[in-house]
Structure 1
Amino acid sequence: MFGFGELPKEYNVKIHGPYDPAVYYGPKDTPLSEVKLGQLPAWLSRRSKNPVDWVRAGSRGYWRWSHKYLFPKHSGIVPVVQMAVGLSFFFWALNMSDIRKHKLQKYHW
């Protein structure tokens, strides 16, 4: 249903081997880091505008992060610090309106 929970159409077990959720099995394209400024509109037009593909891209990013930082046997404190910084930024953004109001008050008690 809507492509959720299904393997990508481009995935072939005979060619790719075991399925890895961190790998994009679609057609290869130029990475964003190698795109020149004049080629950017054409590169963006080749991207999918389907929300299901956006969710899949986010899932691949999560799995890549997990394989690199969370799943190794001796992963260290890096994933904990990254989560703490991410949550701190998220809650700061949620409370930004209250922070601005407080900054403009004459007395701060």
Structure 2
Amino acid sequence: MNDYFQRISCYFKTAVKKVQDHPATRWYKFNGIGDYPAEYNPRVHGPYDPARFYGTPHTPFSELKLCEVPQWLKCRNKSPKSMAGLFSRAYWRWSHRYVQPKRTTVAPLIHGIVGMMIVFYAINYGKIIRHRNYKYH
């Protein structure tokens, strides 16, 4: 029986290795998608937290003067990878606050329902606007 489990685990290891070495997955490794951020150091930061930004901190937008806003916008990284990281950190912050506490409430459910309402309103806005009541006098 033990030999059977060893053969299955060996089969899965070789299958995973084949998938990882496939040419179509090389761009994934090349771009570093799914890796830890380059600024993350486990000795300094401790356990990895996906909701935390490990880069050099910038001045918060709320503390800027009006004349500093264009310079602040220029120094931001606007690549697709950094935007994906921004949304990922926002999701994990939301998840840590509303979904993963020991005693959660109905807030995540309400957030999802309201979000779907907004999306479907935006999708159907063209149909909704045609049903306005107009006075013709």
Query: 2 CA distance for matches of 1:102 and 1:4?
Result: 46
**Greater shift after overlay, 2-11 or 91-100?**
2-11
Partner of 1:60: 89
Corresponding residue pairs, total: 106
1-structure distance, mates of 2:32, 2:78? 15
**Within the alignment, does 1:15 sit opposite 2:15 as a pair?**
no
Of all paired residues, the percent bearing the same amino acid is: 44
RMSD: 1.5
Give, as a single letter, the amino acid of the residue that structure 2 aligns with 1:28.
P
Q: For the residues of structure 1 that align with 2:102 and 2:134, how far apart are their CA atoms?
A: 50
Q: Runs of at least 4 residues of structure 1 off by over 6 A?
A: none
Please state whether the residue corresponding to 1:24 is helix, strand or coil: coil
Residue number in structure 2 paired with 1:50: 79
- For normalisation by structure 2, the TM-score amounts to 0.73
Q: Can you give the 5+ residue segments of structure 1 that lack an aligned partner in the other structure? A: none
For the residue of structure 1 that corresponds to 2:131, the secondary structure is helix
- Aligned position for 1:70: 99
Structure holding more helix per residue? 2
Q: Is the 8 A contact 1:3 1:52 kept in 2?
A: no
Q: Which has the higher contact order (CA 8 A, sep 6+)?
A: 1
Question: Would you say 1:95 and 2:128 are equivalent positions?
Answer: no
What is the CA-CA distance between 1:3 and the residue it aligns to?
Answer: 2.7
In structure 2, give the amino acid aligned to 1:76.
T
Deviation at 1:44, TM superposition (A): 0.3
> Under a length normalisation based on structure 1, what TM-score does the superposition of the two structures give?
0.91
Structure 1 segment 18-33 matched on structure 2, within 5 A: 18-33=47-62
Gaps of 5+ in 2: 1-27
Aligned to 1:103, the other structure's residue is in SS state: coil
